[in-house]
Amino acid sequence: MRYAILSDIHSNLVAFQAVLEHLETVGPFDQIWCLGDVVGYGPAPNECIELLRSFGHVCIAGNHDWAAVDKLDISTFNPEAADAALWTSRELLPHNQAYLQSLPSTLVRGDFTMAHGSPRDPIWEYVLSTGSATMAFESFAGPYCLIGHSHIPLLFQLNQGGTVSRQRFAPDRPTRLDGGRWLLNPGSVGQPRDGDPRASYVLYDAGSGECRHFRIAYDIPATQAEMRRLHLPPPLADRLSYGW
Ligand code: ZN
């Protein structure tokens, strides 16, 4: 079985379509595992939810998904994110609101726990440092945990002796899950924040245990033009050019 591990699509339909087109070139996959924030920031919330739901998939809730259906107080969002969350909640069709309402905050599939932020605090916590990863490793039972939220592709490994190592996911170089304990973040499809504006995702092959990380160029100006047409906050469109 092969799984496309996607996170933080953020209503960026053009980026999501580019990832799906790339997936066609690397062979069939069985299911999408989506780690939350399907919506928020971007211009196509309904289209992204409906495209995701056209595939076999599982999905967990992110903070922007909950904000869009009023399950979370947006007073902690920065002004642009809050504006976009309010816009998204007005745009969402009832069946897509119901879908976001239904998303669980964590899921377990085989050896994998999934949590948008962290297994300790699935909606809010960012896992960026070995310190936060160490606490995350204490908060799930199986060998592997998939996270999103930071929009930065990262791998953390729990070493024998209890130390945690942190590394970037290197594009196109497979990482083999070797039976140790790992925390993996595939990066963001729709709003990367590691200085590389290309869409980011991971393909996991359960047979070989290999995770392959890809960066996919997409038509960034097309998404930006749509955001401007819809009067979404300009900084949210600008940042797509920089991958930040
Ligand atoms: Zn996000």
pLDDT over 70, % of the chain:
100
The pLDDT of residue 110 is 94
The pLDDT of residue 27 is 86
- 159: Cβ–Cβ under 8 A, 6 or more apart, which residues? 165, 180
Distance, CA 6 to ligand 1 centroid (Å)? 11
Distance, CA 37 to ligand 1 centroid (Å)? 5
Rounded CA separation 171/175 (Å): 10
Short-list 196, 241, 202, 233, CA closest to 40: 233
Helices (H), the chain: 13-25, 45-53, 63-68, 79-91, 94-102, 130-137, 220-229, 234-242
Opening angle at CA 56, ends 55 and 59, nearest 5: 95
pLDDT per residue over 200-210, tens digit each?
A: 999 999 999 99
Distance, CA 38 to ligand 1 centroid (Å)? 8
> What is the pTM (predicted TM-score) of this model?
0.97
